[in-house]
Structures are given as structure tokens and as C-alpha cells.
Amino acid sequence: MITKMRISNYYSIGEETELIFTKGGEKVEKEGGYFQHKKLKKISLINGFFGANASGKSNVLKAMVTIIRLIYTIATPKDTVGSVLLCRPNMHKKYENKSTKLGIDFLINNNYYEYDIEIKDGDNIVEEKLFITTLDKSAAKPKEIFTRTEKNGINFGPEYKDHEDYLSIANIQKYQTFISHLINNVGAKAVADFVNYRKLSPGFLKTDGFDMNMPAPVAIFTSAIRINSFDKEKKEEALKFTKEILSCFDDTIEDLEINTANNNMSIKVKHKDFSNGIEIIEESAGTRELFCHIYDILIAFKNGGTVIYDETNRYFHPDIEMALLSLFKNKDFNTNNAQLFFASHNLDTFDLLEIDQTYIVEKVDSSSVIFKLSDMEDIKKRDNVKKKYRLGMFGGIPDISTFDYKLKQLL
């Protein structure tokens, strides 16, 4: 579970920002939407980001995806000139020549990890560090697993000196994280939690930027290829899960079929009383979205993983969106403490969240500013947050008056 995130000089985010996904206060037995660890504050299991178009909501979620991918993926050159871009710095002139800094804290079992990375020019890692606090020990303090700097290279902490042999077999490029080498190439004991978490609790990573660059037919085809690559039992499970959910919102759907005859991929949806199946690409945008992602969401939910979902309102009826999001707050369903981070323009989703689970994103001087509602003065739990947001009392809403003025000028 993610407890904190640090971001600076990343896309529209400029100044260093720390987001804290925990809540203080007395313990409430099985409080919906939170996980109570015996030595930590309550960790929020559902976190929503709200703001106008282009405010930077997607970039907050994208930062989270970027950190996770840097942890798990060994970067390789992707284009013809052999370069690789790990992240896009803020393009405002006042951040010119400044490094991007990303950090994340998370809990796996009884171990609390703090990971930070500094990247210069989008592709040169100049600092990277990983610390661990073992919470089941009394008076636990953070312990250094490793620190990497441009000047001193990679050094292991006092209790992890036996890992130094890994340095001789790890050929690390400037654009590759050391932690990804430990996880993928070495399988070091120090990162065993990361390896096991990926196996047992896969996170569903979805950002608007990647989706917009992937046309619907490609996204569908990619999902179908992956499902078709499963073994027979898992493939049947994936198709069953997906069909059952699709039929909840279109009760004429009876079956899903992936056919690869003659080296062609065909994904058809069978409807009640239809003479033939319908190609998935001909279904509604919401049905296609569910086909591409609902199985991953449910597996992450079932196994206690992390779901990062941008613009959950984009293709779904508000009732479907609310039903999906509310799963993470339902203590009877979310028994393995799956965690959700989402952005939406549907203001009804405010009703699902406490004020410490609600974040407003606003552009100020060309950079995104993010704040938690509970950090604002005079905001109380019982306030009509949705109404106050629509009135512009928190910021993060579009300037419609400017829009109207521009239209009059143009027309």
C-alpha cells in the first residue's frame, strides 16, 4: 500500500510536493476505505483527484505510474538514436537545468519502504536510494538498503554489505535504476518483498496519456493477445470474469469469444437472440473499456493490489463509475485492502470520499498545485464539499466566463 508520494519538476508539477495518503485519529474497527496497521496511521484505500481540464490530475497519477515502472522495469533505448526518456521535466523556464525528483513510501507486509530517485535531463539518474523500516520490531528505525550517487556510485547499508557481490554482475546504465536490476536480474534478498508483491498482488496501471496514444483497436487487440496467452484455466477465468461484468450493464450479452483461426485475431461478443456475434470494436466505448481493463482491476482488487485509474468517468455511466469505485470502500468486499487512486470529473464521486481522501489540483503560474481538502482551514467532514467545489471555493474548476468571452470574440 502506498502511503506517501513526493514529486518535483515532473511534467506540469514544479515545486516539490508531498502527498500523504494516511489519516490520524482513533482506530475505528473495520472502517470502510482505510487500512489500520498497528504501528502506522490509517492508510487510505481510495483517493480521488479533482480539477479542471489540463490542471495536472493525469500528471499526478502518471508520476505514480512512473515511479512503479522505474522500480520494476529495466529501461532500454527505444528510439533510433538510442536514447531513453525516463520522465519529462517541467518545461517552464524557471525549472530549466533542474533535476526531477520522485519518491514513494509503501507498506508490504510489515516492512515499510522509502524509495527516492533524482533524474537529470530526463534520462540520467544521479541519485537513487532505498530504505526499510521493519515494523514488527520494537523501536524500529529506517535502515539503508542502498544509496546510489553520481559521485560515489552504489553503496549498500551496514546490514546489507553481503549484497555487494551483485555490483560486479550488474551492468547498469545511467538511465537504469539499480532496484530494477536487483529485482529482475539478481533476485536479491533485500528486495524479496518487491518480487513477491508483483507475483501475488499485481497493480493495474492505467494513465490517460498512454491510452490516448493507443487507439481503441490497438488497446483491444493488446488485451486480447494477453488474455489469449494465458493457460487454459486462466484464460477461461478471464473471459468469464469479463463476460459476467459486461452482462451486468448489458443483459443481452451471453458470451465472449477470442478466435485465432488462420492466424487472425477475432474478439466477438455474443448477444441473446443475435444470429451472429458482434466484433468487440463495434460495441460501445464503455463496453470496450471494460473488456480491456475489468479483469486486471478485479484481480488487483482480489489480491490486494494497487489500481491507478485516470478519468474513470470518461466512458462509463455515472452509476457504473460509482459502483466500481465504491468497491474499494466496502469493507465486506475489500478484505485484502486493495488501494485505488483515481481522477474524475464526476462530482458525485465526492460523496464516496472523506475530506482526507480528496485532492484538488489547480494550475498556478503554469504549474500544478495539489492539496488535500483536510489540510484547508474551516473545512469540516460534514460540509457539502461537492457544492463548495462547484462554487469555486477550493479552486480547481474551469473559468467558464473566459470561455464565453472567447466564443463571442470568435463567433
Rounded-to-integer distance, Cα 332 and Cα 336, Å: 10
pLDDT of res. 379: 78
pLDDT of res. 378: 76
Instruction: Tell me which of 91-100, 102-111, 259-268 is least confident.
Output: 259-268
Rounded-to-integer distance, Cα 391 and Cα 383, Å: 13
Cα Rg of the chain (Å, integer): 23
Q: Report pTM.
A: 0.92
The band of 381, judged by pLDDT with boundaries at 50, 70 and 90, is low
Is there a contact between 90 and 367 (Cβ–Cβ < 8 Å)? yes
Please, what's the b/e burial string for 99-127 (b: 16 or more CB within 10 A of its CB; e: otherwise)?
Answer: bbbbbbbbbeeeebbbbbbbbbebbebbb
Rounded-to-integer distance, Cα 350 and Cα 384, Å: 9
Question: Where do the domains of the chain lie, and which CATH numbers do they carry?
Answer: 2-201+304-402 (3.40.50), 216-291 (no CATH)
pLDDT of res. 382: 61
Is there a contact between 306 and 2 (Cβ–Cβ < 8 Å)? yes
Does the pLDDT value for residue 326 go beyond 90?
Answer: yes
Q: What amino acid is encoded at 89 in this protein?
A: P
pLDDT of res. 265: 82
Does the pLDDT value for residue 25 go beyond 80?
Answer: no
> What is the pLDDT averaged over residues 65-82?
76
Rounded-to-integer distance, Cα 180 and Cα 357, Å: 30
Residue, of 169 and 350, whose pLDDT is higher: 350
Does the pLDDT value for residue 81 go beyond 70?
Answer: no
The band of 219, judged by pLDDT with boundaries at 50, 70 and 90, is confident
Residues with Cβ within 8 Å of residue 237, at least 6 apart in sequence: none
Grid cell, residue 101, equals 525528483
pLDDT of res. 210: 44
The pLDDT tens digits of the residues spanning 122-153 come to 999 999 999 999 988 777 899 999 999 999 99
Residue, of 77 and 378, whose pLDDT is higher: 378
> What is the pLDDT averaged over residues 60-65?
94
Phi, psi for residue 389 in degrees, rounded to 5:
-65, -45
Residues with Cβ within 8 Å of residue 335, at least 6 apart in sequence: none
pLDDT of res. 44: 95
Nearest to 370 by CA among 44, 23, 59: 59
Does the pLDDT value for residue 286 go beyond 80?
Answer: yes
